[in-house]
Structure 1
């Protein structure tokens, strides 16, 4: 998976990384049904390792029973899943087995959710990646896989960023809020995982944050004959970086083996092979889960927190406050706007259609609920909070009702558009209130100057109010710059889409 690594890793570290990868290849290749001669791992132009086609493509592919040629086959025994871990623990690691019984509430593995699978994988990673932990000896391929995982300094998801990097580079954006919330969840999860063991674990919260990042940057959802789908960490394949123009796909055979099938033929030697993590992944999702962004990626969503604007609107409007509370409680609405389509790709249709294209269902619901008029008796029931209220409503049914109502009352659409444009405009101003510039660069770090901006009360021109400098890792700065630029560009287009019709002051 594409993880930015330091360009200043010393030669000894590089040698250790190279040796651990070689050991992993040798261990997996020794397993029955393994075929790895068609691929190799080498430095990628993205600053990390990547999966490449072999130097010689001759005799480097195998063909399955259906005639599909694959450049590699990873045996099922090398694929790491929660159920495999549970089986291993039951036979070889009583402390882990006991902890998993607590963490899974003794539920049969056939009923495990993806959340439970993740917790099992995290418990295993936490236990077996600690030095001198006195754990049972793993099979060589499993041990080699854990030893080849990127270290804490190489996994640069925002949860691992310093506060200077997080708040200095992404000030005003949604990611810092998401990171702080996730850090809080990880504190609770670490306490639960560590507390499930009958003995102290030689692990810290930082270790748990690292294994969580390793999990998210490497896990895939794979088909399972017995369970439909399951989460899996797949050695060798997880060196492949992400692209929206993939050259490789993977498939799981009936026996559980993973075949790596090229999407182009013939496959040139020494060519980096890319998979797609998800063809619809936005930069916000890529940055939060994987630690990188792709310039020019207009897919997916941009999140705009609207807690403060909504609170301000509702502070002197009890009916609005009640409507919003009802939507949050019963319809799954969050105080967050998610722009899920680049406004540049939205057809120039009517304003309500534009809102439907740009926003996800909860965001559209929020905008329309806020735009309702209090005095319409037929809508008061929507906002009324009743102790005997029914279970959560169908959000799609609710939004259809609101859209149909808005079509009958154009002023509702006007107010919804005004709300969206206003909060996006406020968000842009908040982000732009801190501007930063790289002022000095070294091999793997950047000296950043951040300027807090204000407005001159006389001239109305922007002025610098405060200047601060901090050091950030180059890969972090690059990812933050791409994400910040995309957010400002996308939301600027949202504002332009409505400001031309007089919704907000320009």
Structure 2
């Protein structure tokens, strides 16, 4: 991205004939790249408001914050290096860094050996579910475009590739600026936070090996949800969860997660499997379902109250979002609403089923008895006179 940023800044100085580095084939290629990519990080503030209530709302805010922080860091480091200081001085803006990121994310390919890379020419191929070609790496390291098995491309016909068969609508819009209407993938990812009254909440976030999220899917087989963090979130000390501070051989202190006195710090992403043999597994599952049901209801309420202009054929007014942004946001909102509604119904049914489980009934009954005893305790003590 620094290489792309340098070329973006250099292009601003073209009129002054000042060149700080030698022109290369990449220099000429970058001249043809558009200065606007229709991904949400390049939308206006008014257009970004259209994503309120969708799963992209929080993700977009976090991404823009990260880009701003990264740019500040690059600017600070550039001031100490003569070449970069000359390049940045009076010219560079955070919008340039956002554009470099947009170029990279929207045109980056994942090659089998080299990993993520921009490939001039190949990055101009459009996406299709029924793609006619795929890219690969040859034995000598070159990137090659090959026809898919059984495909036939006539003269003058567009050659297409796949940007990913399993990407969610939000992922497609976030990275490429459009939603594939032919895709059968209906899913979204929601952030989940520790319970407000959980004294172990901060420790759980710190020890977890991934993002604190839950993935919701609507498939032909039904509704699915997956989140290892959700099980970590609903477990507590009474269940057998514990944290310990351990010191390694170098003297550094590390936070360790214990389950039933066993160190499971490296297995936080497999916590549901670890608790499946516990007598209270159905209780843990009920807690997870209840927490998720509340989170889904909150998201449904937020997405239903989100901003919507409606897509019209009328000329765009000042500050009004562009039609393509309104259409993309409405499509995402509709798809995610379908998923949320389907998940909400499934969770309600699952909770009703779990509440009939014998172990759950016994556990809830014991908890109710304990609460009744605790409530009656002070009243009984008030009747005694120890004067």
Q: CA deviation at 1:373?
A: 6.0
Listed one character per residue, the Cα deviations across residues 389-409 of structure 1 (whole Å, up to 9, x for unaligned) are 33843224434213333x753
Q: 1:252 aligns with which of 115, 129, 137?
A: 137
Query: SS in structure 2 opposite 1:495?
Result: helix
Structure 1 runs (4+) deviating above 4 angstroms are 383-388, 501-504
Q: TM-score, normalised by structure 1?
A: 0.58
Aligned position for 1:80 = none
Listed one character per residue, the Cα deviations across residues 93-117 of structure 1 (whole Å, up to 9, x for unaligned) are xxxxxxxxxxxxxxxxxxxxxxxxx
Aligned position for 1:321 = 199
Conserved? CA contact 1:244–1:279, under 8 Å: yes
Aligned mates of 2:174, 2:110 — CA distance in 1: 18
The question of 1:497 aligning with 2:346 is answered yes
Q: CA deviation at 1:302?
A: 0.9
The 3 A distance-change label for structure 1 pair 282 and 436 is same
Aligned mates of 2:319, 2:212 — CA distance in 1: 32
Q: Within 5 Å, give how 1:31-110 maps onto structure 2.
A: none
The 3 A distance-change label for structure 1 pair 220 and 373 is closer
Aligned position for 1:173 = 54
Conserved? CA contact 1:417–1:503, under 8 Å: no
Q: 2:167 aligns with which of 266, 278, 281?
A: 281
Listed one character per residue, the Cα deviations across residues 421-471 of structure 1 (whole Å, up to 9, x for unaligned) are 22111210111123524264346x4x6xxxxxxxxxxxxxxxxxxxxx961
Q: 1:473 aligns with which of 322, 327, 337?
A: 322
Q: Greater CA deviation, 267-276 or 423-432?
A: 267-276
Aligned mates of 1:496, 1:329 — CA distance in 2: 32
Q: Within 5 Å, give how 1:15-414 maps onto structure 2.
A: 119-132=1-14, 133-139=18-24, 141-152=25-36, 155-167=37-49, 169-194=50-75, 195-196=77-78, 197-201=84-88, 202-223=91-112, 228-263=113-148, 264-295=150-181, 297-299=183-185, 301-307=187-193, 310=194, 313-315=195-197, 320-322=198-200, 324-332=201-209, 334-339=211-216, 341-342=217-218, 344-346=220-222, 357-359=224-226, 363=227, 365-372=228-235, 375-376=238-239, 379-381=240-242, 389-390=255-256, 392-405=265-278, 408-414=280-286
Q: 1:485 aligns with which of 334, 339, 346?
A: 334
Gaps spanning 5+ residues in structure 2: where?
A: 79-83, 247-252, 258-264, 354-387
Q: TM-score, normalised by structure 2?
A: 0.75
Query: SS in structure 1 opposite 2:152?
Result: coil
Q: CA deviation at 1:279?
A: 2.0
Q: CA RMSD in A?
A: 3.0
Q: CA deviation at 1:157?
A: 0.9
Total equivalences in the alignment? 328
The 3 A distance-change label for structure 1 pair 297 and 425 is farther
Query: SS in structure 1 opposite 2:120?
Result: coil
The question of 1:431 aligning with 2:303 is answered yes
Higher Rg: 2
Gaps spanning 5+ residues in structure 1: where?
A: 1-118, 347-353, 448-468
Query: SS in structure 1 opposite 2:110?
Result: strand
